[in-house]
Structure 1
Amino acid sequence: MSGKKLLMIVGDFGEDLEIMVPFQALQAVGHEVDAVCPEKESGETVKTAIHDFRGDQTYLEERGHDFALNATFDDIDPEAYDGLVVPGGRAPEYLRTYDTVLEYVRHFFDENKPVASLCHGPQILAAAGVLDGYEMTSYPAVRAECEAAGCAWVDEVTTDGNLVTAHDWSDHPEWLSQFLDVLGTSVDHESTSVAADD
């Protein structure tokens, strides 16, 4: 099966692991991923943030990496993509203010294309008005926004139709696995033995 063409919408201070890991993992299994940000061009970067959980009432935020975009937001056509990835972090808070971002998100739902989102990413989906009737999850602090947008919020990684959602980067294995299922991607695991030198 040939790989799918996927769109990832990112922005400054998006969560480092929630951008880097799916961007690389989806490519590793044969998909093409275009990472874009409004008002930025291919080759420019966004600054990421690292969100860690250390027993406080909310996450700790530290500066992450510079993530290079590989496509230009103004040049993309959502019709050309088979699926959408919406990472979390602080970026969704401002990305949802771009009408074009919301328009692109609506396209994927209108066409019933696969969408994967986690953590604060559903803030964009809520602003786009596409969550009504879905069962989904998010970072717990975003639950009220999701429910106000008409979804049934659940406390686990969830697939409902075309939408796959998770709490945060700690859910990556299950979230990515469920997204690959929705994409129709099968990963063959061959049995191999590795000999270590004594």
Structure 2
Amino acid sequence: MTKKKILMIIGDYVEDYEVMVPFQCLEMVGHIVHVVSPDKKSGDFCVTAVHDFLPGEQTYTELRGHRFKLNFDFAAVKECDYDALVIPGGRAPEFLRLNAKVIELTQQFHHSKKPIASICHGPQILAAAGVLKGIRCTSYPACKPELILAGANFQDTAADKAVSDHNIVSAVAWPGHSEWLALFLEKLGTKITL
């Protein structure tokens, strides 16, 4: 397997599982993952949030999660230094999509046809970057209208499923990690043998 260098963009109140699990899994299989956040440097922290889905309630609950330590400076990031991009969900994408450099980086990864994995509210950034036209994808259901407005071919999937189309892999939420990460590893050319 060729070791890949992956960029993960997060912000405060990123979904805890959606940053912790992919970061650890991608590193576990031998990839290098730089986790960055606008206006923050290596050694700074982003606060995460833990979301849960309770039967009979109309939306998810949110609790404060861990502090995730960033390992690279956002200001130093250049798309050409990376093989792929990961955009977790939670509340962070709603403000990250307002950052011009986040949008520019997302567009560069897409135009270079590099793999992009996005989950939950993460596709809000893809929609804002204008890279979803004609792409089959999914997201947390609350994001569906803006993905459709961005031209996506939205797929209503179960929470434990993922969708792969062109260079983009997407999933509804953290229950879909297994399929989402497996599809992303496939796009990276990562082969795991038992």
| Fold similarity call, TM over 0.5 | yes
Q: Does 2:166 match 1:161?
A: yes
TM-score norm. by structure 1 comes to 0.94
Following the alignment from structure 1 to structure 2, what is the Cα–Cα distance between the partners of residues 73 and 162?
23
SS of 1:3's partner is coil
Looking at structure 2, the residues matched to 131 and 152 of structure 1 have their Cα atoms a distance apart, in angstroms, of: 8
What's the RMSD between the two structures over aligned residues?
0.6
Does the 8 A contact of 2:103 with 2:128 survive in 1? yes
| Pair member with larger Rg | 1
Q: CA deviation at 1:16?
A: 0.2
Partner of 1:194: none
1:172 paired residue among 157, 169, 177: 177
Matches within 5 A, 1:1-198: 1-55=1-55, 56-156=57-157, 157-189=162-194
CA displacement, residues 134-179 of structure 1 (integer Å, 9 cap, x when unaligned): 0000001100010000011112311001100000000000000010
1 CA distance for matches of 2:121 and 2:113? 22
- Shift in Å, 1:3: 1.1
The 2-side partners of 1:102 and 1:76 are apart by 13
| Identical-pair percentage | 52
Distance 1:121 1:76 in 2: 19
Give unpaired runs (5+ residues) of structure 2.
Answer: none
Aligned residue-pair number: 189
Task: State the SS of the aligned residue for 1:94.
Answer: helix
In the superposition, the TM-score normalised over structure 2's length comes to 0.96
Quote the Cα distance in structure 2 between the aligned partners of 1:63 and 1:3.
33
Q: Deviations over 1:78-97 (max 9, x none)?
A: 11100000000000000000
Runs of 4 or more above 4 Å deviation: none
Distance (whole Å) between structure 2 residues aligned to residue 136 and residue 17 of structure 1: 20
